[in-house]
Amino acid sequence: MSWADRISPAVRSIPPSGIRRFFDIAAEMKGVISLGVGEPDFITPWHIRESCVYGLERGYTSYTANHGLLELREEIAKTTDRDYNVRYEPNREILITVGVSEALDLALRAVLSPGDEALVPEPCYVSYKACVTLAGGVPVPVPTVMENQFRVTVEQLEQLVTPRTKVLLIGYPNNPTGAIMPREELLRIAGFAKKHDLIVISDEIYANLTYDAEHTCFASLPEMRDRTILLNGFSKAYAMTGWRIGYAMGNADFIAAMTKIHQYTMLCAPITAQVAAVEALRHGQDTMKKMVAEYDCRRRLMLDGLCNMGLSCFEPKGAFYIFPSIKNTGLKSLEFAEELLKAEKVALVPGDAFGESGQGYIRCSYATSMANLNKALERIGRFIDKRLNR
Ligand code: PLP
């Protein structure tokens, strides 16, 4: 038996991330404009970095409690109450994690038994289905469509729910589509979750990044607080991807179960990042709002630019992605991305990296400068003109 054959079947069954695979090619080329990465182009605001430097000066170099610094849990509780009117008890209902990535993994591992199904609206963040599989569960994709603004409906969910369904995993504002869910529609989803007694894992990492729209926190809906594991973090809103800091909130039983795994596998999130996260919540609102305003300008530029070149575009209302259809070019998503990269040196992500229902779309991230976006639009326009013989 080869070494490769000895790798666990679950690990073998998941594909490598469609984003990473594509970017390895782009990284080797010169002069590429990347609209590929889902990462703010801003450096973490100085006052946040400075708080970390002070923390190091004061000797904060140890482990923290498994749950994370109490100070941070208290700030998170206050912020969540202020923004969404949902109350969590810092000692029992909040866990600080290594990014939302770890929180997602812990949540799934804490609740899924082998063979349990998780409904996952698609297109979705690349980790969702892989993490369900690694937790022993079975991801059940629920395709959403541009015609319905990439919003999942109860009718679709009803068709796919089975007695094995245990989890509904949602992520709004959505990566990669930029879709949000209005409160009335989430209320219907909540009714569905209650009817089938599902646990809802709600990844709200882009909650602060909405444009002309208000974010509704799933746990704030009537009777949803205790059946929801709410995930959030600092990577996107505070431009803190490299700090690796996120958190999960939920009823004490869920959080205790997740903490049990976390204490053996991770011990705790890095103390330096936790100290910085306290500062982000206490004094980072204004700088965060400025970054959001800048994303909004870029969003408009991209929307106008892509529509003007004849691509059919859904207006994103959140996150920092736009997800136009490229079906009129006759190319598949991967072909489009590869040919564009070769011909015009613009890197973006083929839509099917986010699930089969992303076929025929591309994801462009506008977390890059206006200058880069203008150049990229010019190049994409030229590519499409040639392709359509215009
Ligand atoms: N959830 C979504 C929807 C994301 O887009 C990302 C990162 O791109 C993550 C989670 C991971 O975030 P973190 O950096 O907090 O691990």
- Hey, whose CA ends up nearest to atom 7 of ligand 1? 38
Choose among 144, 203, 201, 140: nearest CA to 172.
203
Q: Give pLDDT, residue 15.
A: 85
pLDDT at 40: 92
* Six token digits for residue 260: 């049990």
Of 49, 97, 107, whose CA–CA distance to 69 is shortest? 97
Q: Is 241 in the pocket of ligand 1 (CB under 6 A)?
A: yes
Confidence class of residue 24 from pLDDT cuts 50, 70 and 90? Answer: confident
Q: Which backbone phi and psi does 43 adopt, to 5 degrees?
A: -80, 150
The per-residue pLDDT for range 149-166, each reduced to its tens digit, is 999 999 999 999 999 999
* Average pLDDT over the chain, rounded to an integer: 96
Label residue 370 by pLDDT band (50, 70, 90).
very high
- Please tell me the distance between residue 125's alpha carbon and the centre of ligand 1 in angstroms: 8
Would you state the pLDDT for residue 387? Answer: 92
Does the beta carbon of 38 lie inside 6 Å of ligand 1? Answer: yes
Angle at 241 between CA 269 and CA 317, to 5 degrees: 125
97 lines ligand 1 (CB under 6 A): no
Atom of ligand 1 nearest to the CA of 104: 10
pLDDT, mean of residues 124-142: 97
125 lines ligand 1 (CB under 6 A): yes
Compute CA distances 389 → 272, 310, 348, 384, 385, whole Å: 55, 13, 22, 8, 6
Mean pLDDT value across residues 164-182: 98
Confidence at residue 37, expressed as pLDDT on a 0 to 100 scale:
86
CA distance 95 to 110: 13
Is a pLDDT exceeding 80 seen at residue 23? no
268: Cβ below 6 Å to ligand 1?
Answer: no
4-44+286-387 is classed CATH 3.90.1150.10: yes
Which pLDDT score, from 0 to 100, does residue 21 have?
66
Q: Which of 96, 106, 205, when mutated, tests ligand 1's pocket best, judged by the most ligand atoms within 8 Å of its CB?
A: 205
Q: Is the shortest distance between the CB of 123 and ligand 1 below 6 Å?
A: no
Q: For residues 79 and 90, is the Cβ–Cβ distance under 8 A?
A: no
pLDDT in tens, 295-324: 999 999 999 999 999 999 999 999 999 999
pLDDT tens, residue by residue, 93-112: 999 999 999 999 999 999 99
Split at pLDDT 50, 70, 90, the class of 276 is very high
Distance between Cα 57 and ligand 1 center (Å): 30
List pLDDT tens digits, range 283-302: 999 999 999 999 999 999 99
Task: Give the domain ranges of the chain.
Answer: 4-44+286-387, 46-284
99 touches ligand 1 (CB under 6 Å): yes
Task: Say how far apart CA 229 and CA 251 lie, in whole Å.
Answer: 8
In the predicted model, is pLDDT for residue 227 greater than 70? Answer: yes
pTM for the model stands at 0.96
Sequence letter at residue 168? L
Whether the per-residue pLDDT at 26 is higher than 80: the answer is no
Kindly state if the Cβ of 107 falls inside 6 Å of ligand 1.
no
CB-ligand 1 contact for 233 (6 Å cutoff): yes
User: Which residue in this structure is represented by tokens 């979750």?
Assistant: 193
- pLDDT value at residue 157: 98
Ligand 1 atom at minimal distance to the Cα of residue 125: 3
How many whole angstroms from 150 Cα to the centroid of ligand 1?
19
For ligand 1, the distance from its centroid to the CA atom of residue 330, given in whole angstroms, is 31
Ligand 1, residues 120, 175, 323: which to mutate, most atoms within 8 A of Cβ? 175
Q: Is the pLDDT of residue 350 over 70?
A: yes
The pick from 96, 101, 131, 234 for probing ligand 1's pocket by mutation, whose C-beta has the most ligand atoms within 8 angstroms, reads 101
3-class secondary structure for the chain? CCCHHHCCHHHHHCCCCHHHHHHHHHHCCCCCEECCCCCCCCCCCHHHHHHHHHHHHCCCCCCCCCCCCHHHHHHHHHHHHHHHCCCCCCCCCEEEECHHHHHHHHHHHHHCCCCCEEEEEECCCCHHHHHHHHCCCEEEEEECCHHHCCCCCHHHHHHHCCCCEEEEEECCCCCCCCCCCCHHHHHHHHHHHHHCCCEEEEECCCCCCECCCCCCCHHHCCCCHHHEEEEEECCCCCCCHHHCCEEEECCHHHHHHHHHHHHHHCCCCCHHHHHHHHHHHHHCHHHHHHHHHHHHHHHHHHHHHHHHCCCECCCCCECCEECCECHHHCCCHHHHHHHHHHHHCEECEEHHHHCHHHCCEEEEECCCCHHHHHHHHHHHHHHHHHHCCC
Mean pLDDT to the nearest integer, 206-220: 97
Kindly indicate the confidence band of residue 144, based on its pLDDT and cuts at 50, 70 and 90.
Answer: very high
Q: Is the CB of 173 under 6 A from ligand 1?
A: no
For position 28, what pLDDT does the model report?
81
Nearest to 107 by CA among 241, 253, 269: 253
Cβ-defined contacts of 250-256 (< 8 Å, 24+): 250/88, 250/93, 250/107, 250/219, 250/226, 251/93, 251/225, 251/226, 252/89, 252/92, 252/93, 254/107, 254/110, 254/111, 254/199, 254/229, 255/92, 255/93, 255/94, 255/95, 256/92
Domain covering 46-284, topology:
Aspartate Aminotransferase; domain 2 (3.40.640)
